[in-house]
Amino acid sequence: MVYHKSAAEPYAVPFIFDHPKHTFVNVIQTSLTRAVRYSSTFETFNNERCYIKLTLLLNGYSSSFSDKEFRNFFTDYLSTNSFMPFITHET
């Protein structure tokens, strides 16, 4: 399981009111990189990915925005042959 600071708001995104949404690409990429590095199993990673997506949705980001940025992350940083079939066929 990826550690989440208990004192922090569980679904808060930093700088939500200070910056336009397009500046959060780095926040998404950093969150996903952290999830990849700290997840010992694919299931743990997938749970964290869902947590990140839920956090974005609860903070007013559209599903299409997060889906696009998730795809960009996986295209840029991971082999598309290993993870993309699992990600695109979400259960």
Mean pLDDT of 82-89: 59
Neighbours of 29 (CB within 10 A): 16
Decide if 32 contacts 52 (C-beta within 8 A): yes
Domain boundaries, given as residue ranges, for the chain: 22-80
Tokens 């969150």 locate to: 31
Which DSSP string corresponds to 16-47?
TTTS-GGGGHHHHHHHHHHHHHH-SSHHHHHH
pLDDT digits (tens, 9 = 90+) for 23-69: 778 888 888 988 888 888 889 999 999 999 988 888 888 899 889 99
> Dihedral of CA 81/43/41/7: which sign?
positive
pTM value? 0.66
